[in-house]
Structure 1
Amino acid sequence: MGRPDLLNRTLGFAGSVAIALGGLAAGALPERGDPLAHWPVIRELRSFPLVAIAGAYVGLALLCGAWLRLRRTLDEQSPSDLVRTLLCWAAPLVLVPPMFSQDVYSYLAQGAMVHEGLDAYKHGPAYLGGPFAAEVPAIWQNTPAPYGPLFLRAAAAVVNVTGAHVTLGVLAFRLISLAGVVMIVLCLPGIATRFGVPPQRAIWFGALNPLLLLHLIAGMHNDAIMVGLMTAGIYAAVRHHPALGAALITAAALIKAPAALALLTILMIAPRAWLRIGAAATASAAGLQLASGLGTGWIGAMHTPTTVRNGLSFSTDLGLLLGALGWPGPMDIIRTAAGVVGCLLAGWALLRAPNPVAGLGLALSSIILLGPVVHPWYLLWAFVPLAAGLRRVPQAAVWGSVGLSLFLLPTGAPGYPEAVVAATVGTVAGLLYLRMRPPVPAPLAAAATS
């Protein structure tokens, strides 16, 4: 590794450390039983949450800047170099409380419900009560779980091991998220090579993406294990094991349903194995569903996330605008129409993309962007296959990753004016530092690596 690459790795590490320090003081902290609440330095830093938020945003700017600069020297790096950079950037984020989302507390509450024999597809965490439910945001207290039975059984297993200890439960879910990230990192290069994409470019966009670091590692969303299993399934198919690939993708879909679209990708990769693929998917779905003992209530509960209004969904924003202008009942009409258009575009992408994996990424992009709710980490469903299937990553996807990385506060709660000001100040400070430390010019970078 040449000096410019080492500088980028160090810059990104500094950004991750700043984000982690901000998270210790202003992350999605538990309301009760926080073991760090009385630690020296952390206790004092928590007295100034706006300073912590500003510091986290300095780190976000540095991390995103390092990621963008790293792109300039990809041809001089090996996949193993980039994996080492990923480990360096991810390490500080593994050691912090949840950040950018409070969803992990919902996971714990839903797992506790299943562990206690309650129907998480009919009742919300408020029905459970206790320490886990107390950490769940008010908006989700009375909403059923929108996740598949495989995930709820995994959440119940976590609670069975950790008991009612919130901190241990959070750590267990971070390990599950890391397992998903490991699958992504291990499988991306092989898929990319199969379709003529440089593996280092696939790792850069699919695994080193700031969205993955922030929301799958720091935020520990269950999308990590969903995307990890989906990626492993595609990798199995390109290695001539389509039935295994179908089984892995079916497991991913029983965590979050959108992964099921990747079954079409498997069929396109191995069209002559359609019978084995269909049999494996059917057997896996039936077997895992029956083994869970949780029924099919999750299918009806998948509408739960649509209660969020965060400004990122085109269809929801348009529906709200038309409703404010006095049009009667526009939301359902707009959402339905956008969903139909998204599905049509997804079908077109699957048929016209340069290869099946790129088609999956483009299809998922269409469905996400025209869906009723969009969260920043949802884009990783699409970005991971796009990283392995497209030889040139669209600039919109690169800058979209950067923009969405700055969208959510580390608290995981809605923004308030003072916090937005602190985040803006931190971002500007980080950008000023990047401006004062410009990237090494390309000729010098080449000389340093020769």
Structure 2
Amino acid sequence: MPPSASIASARPGWTELIASDDIDNGGSGPARSLPLRTVALGAIGSLLLLIGSLGGAGVLIHDPILGSGPLSAMRYGHGKDLATAVVYLGFGLLVWAWVRLGRGVLARLVDSRGVLLATAAWLLPMLIAPPLFTRDVYSYLGQGLLALHGLDPYEIGPAALTGPIPDNVHPTWQTTPAPYGPLFIGVAKGVILLAGDGMISSVIVMRLVLLGGLAMLIFALPGLVRHLGGRLPVALWLVAASPMTVVHLVGGPHNDMLMIGLLAVGTLLILDGRHAAGLTLVTMAMAVKATAGLALPFLVWVWASHLTGPRWQRFARAVVPALALFAVVFAGCMVLSKVGLGWVSALSAPGMIVNYLSAPTALGQAGFVLASLLFEDADYGAFVSGGRAIGSLALAAILVWQWWKARDGGTDAVRRAAIVLWAGALLSPVVLPWYLTWGMALACALPWTPRALSYVVGASVALVLAYSPDGEQAMYNWPLVAVGVGAACLGALSLVRFDPLGLSDAFRRPLERQLR
């Protein structure tokens, strides 16, 4: 029986599933390691994202390219609606290509080289696109501009200045102090020094600088996979080719990309026994965004596990130099960036965003809805604050419990650090879609089952669609939410089932009847 007949007559396994989906080679033979058709499909999607972003994304208030010419119609009314539709079409093609690529990776028909080729092709158009699904990069630039003028970005917001950069900052963040660490303020200041106040050039330079974080993450993955037991193509597929990376981390862009790159390399160095260098990089990651600090207590256990003697002696011999090194590196970041500790009080700034992506906030919102059925004067703010307080307590409990369970160090401590990073994202007072990349930076190197990966696909699609291409939240646009949930479920099923909608049967059966 020829291979094609065996595929048709049996429920397809992973290898047969890829071959039947014609992912790599047009059905003419064994699939190759370079999935060119899938790469092209995702590249078309990425190009459509670029084209649609010119009118539907976080465009400039005064765009020097579109200006007032004929193309300016893309920014308003039906033109913007059409541009937004093109963005969604491009995203759909990108997800389709990502799922197809994932099938090939799971079937061991696509290797790391194929995933990296796809990543490069899909990221390239994003380098020059306006900010997608966010306007945060304008806030980064505004905070760098404040620091460059000698003003404290931890005390005031970009509205204290005038010019094209402050004008393009989202109204929510105009008067909000920076919630980012001193190293990132220094990075933002450097971008302004390099690119000037030209908006397009500043966004591109910021994106290229933050892209260094992705380069560091990719560089660290072979070593992390070696320690944690995963597969390199799967890890690359999860964090490099993912729509969360292409659309949010790079298309955004977001400084989380720099944080997770430093975190990944630092973790690898500690696992390799280069403790001081590794802790330096993880401290720098925290100096970009405080969240990386959640991993530090776990990495101290890894350091201690490389020493000899009783557990608590080893821990003391690791924690003392670790604390000293942390203090020196963090202080150095503050001195170089010429900022103080004001970022600590500014960490609460994102809490002004209220949405149900945050489990504690959703708990408070649900409590308010129930209470308002019984009491007319129920206080919405009190319920949200109460839910967030419960979430903070839960996060503290998870952190302490996981830290204690990680006391033997080794790779188990890294796995538990990833769990806590995810908990930090989900139990935060506010959850933004790209926060879920924090834990994935480490967890991608662990072994994954196909079913677990299908959940990642579904979550990735749903989280990207939680915001509109122009950066406004779309979580209360219920028709769009329904479409997003449906797309997420379809994407998840498509990774583990060939033709989950049964469309091939629908077309094949009428054809068979005609041939009888």
Q: What TM-score does the superposition give when structure 1 sets the normalisation length?
A: 0.88
1:68 aligned partner: 99
| Distance change in 2, residues 1:197/1:181 (3 Å) | same
- Of 272-281 and 109-118, deviating more is 272-281
User: Matched residue of 2:347: which SS?
Assistant: helix
1:121 aligned partner: 154
Residues 74-111 of structure 1, C-alpha deviations (whole Å, 9 max, x = no match)? 12222222111110111111121111100111111111
- Of 216-225 and 18-27, deviating more is 18-27
Residues 228-275 of structure 1, C-alpha deviations (whole Å, 9 max, x = no match)? 111111122223211111000101101110101222232232213715
CA distance in 2, matches of 1:305, 1:372: 8
Larger radius of gyration: 2
What's the Cα RMSD here? Answer: 2.9
User: Matched residue of 1:186: which SS?
Assistant: helix
| Distance change in 2, residues 1:418/1:238 (3 Å) | closer
| Distance change in 2, residues 1:38/1:180 (3 Å) | farther
- Of 257-266 and 240-249, deviating more is 257-266
2:176 aligned partner: 143
2:393 is aligned with 1:340: yes
Is the 1:188–1:388 contact (alpha carbons within 8 Å) kept by the matching residues of 2? yes
User: Matched residue of 1:146: which SS?
Assistant: coil
CA distance in 1, matches of 2:447, 2:344: 32
Is the 1:358–1:390 contact (alpha carbons within 8 Å) kept by the matching residues of 2? no
| Distance change in 2, residues 1:88/1:423 (3 Å) | farther
CA distance in 1, matches of 2:256, 2:225: 21
CA distance in 2, matches of 1:331, 1:420: 25
CA distance in 2, matches of 1:206, 1:416: 24
User: Matched residue of 1:76: which SS?
Assistant: coil
| Distance change in 2, residues 1:36/1:439 (3 Å) | farther
Q: CA deviation at 1:282?
A: 2.5
- Matched letter for residue 330 of structure 2: A
1:400 aligned partner: 459
- Matched letter for residue 57 of structure 2: G
Q: CA deviation at 1:207?
A: 1.7
User: Matched residue of 2:288: which SS?
Assistant: coil
2:115 aligned partner: 82
2:350 aligned partner: 305
- Matched letter for residue 407 of structure 1: A
- The number of aligned residues is 434
2:129 aligned partner: 96
Give matches, 1:279-294, under 5 Å.
279-294=324-339
1:152 aligned partner: 185
Is the 1:146–1:298 contact (alpha carbons within 8 Å) kept by the matching residues of 2? yes
Is the 2:355–2:361 contact (alpha carbons within 8 Å) kept by the matching residues of 1? no
CA distance in 2, matches of 1:287, 1:221: 24
- Matched letter for residue 338 of structure 1: G
Q: CA deviation at 1:159?
A: 1.5
| Distance change in 2, residues 1:390/1:267 (3 Å) | farther
| Distance change in 2, residues 1:90/1:439 (3 Å) | farther
Give matches, 1:3-402, under 5 Å.
3=25, 5-37=35-67, 42-43=71-72, 45-46=74-75, 48-74=79-105, 75-271=108-304, 272=307, 274=318, 275-324=320-369, 325=372, 326-328=377-379, 329-352=382-405, 355-392=412-449, 393=452, 395-402=454-461
Q: CA deviation at 1:418?
A: 9.7
- Matched letter for residue 25 of structure 1: G
CA distance in 2, matches of 1:376, 1:249: 22
- Of 374-383 and 29-38, deviating more is 29-38
CA distance in 2, matches of 1:259, 1:367: 10
Residues 286-339 of structure 1, C-alpha deviations (whole Å, 9 max, x = no match)? 222233321100000000001112331121122234345254522222211111
Identity %: 31
Is the 1:343–1:366 contact (alpha carbons within 8 Å) kept by the matching residues of 2? no
2:503 aligned partner: none
- Of 201-210 and 392-401, deviating more is 392-401
| Distance change in 2, residues 1:401/1:338 (3 Å) | same
2:510 is aligned with 1:412: no
Is the 1:13–1:63 contact (alpha carbons within 8 Å) kept by the matching residues of 2? yes
Is the 2:178–2:343 contact (alpha carbons within 8 Å) kept by the matching residues of 1? yes
CA distance in 2, matches of 1:15, 1:419: 25
Is the 1:236–1:244 contact (alpha carbons within 8 Å) kept by the matching residues of 2? yes
- Of 388-397 and 150-159, deviating more is 388-397
Unaligned ranges ≥5, structure 1: 442-450
Is the 1:230–1:248 contact (alpha carbons within 8 Å) kept by the matching residues of 2? yes
2:310 aligned partner: none
User: Matched residue of 2:325: which SS?
Assistant: helix
CA distance in 1, matches of 2:265, 2:112: 18
Unaligned ranges ≥5, structure 2: 1-22, 26-30, 308-316, 501-516
Higher relative contact order (CA 8 A, sep 6+): 1
Residues 402-449 of structure 1, C-alpha deviations (whole Å, 9 max, x = no match)? 211222211112449999769959x98xx89x99xx9699xxxxxxxx
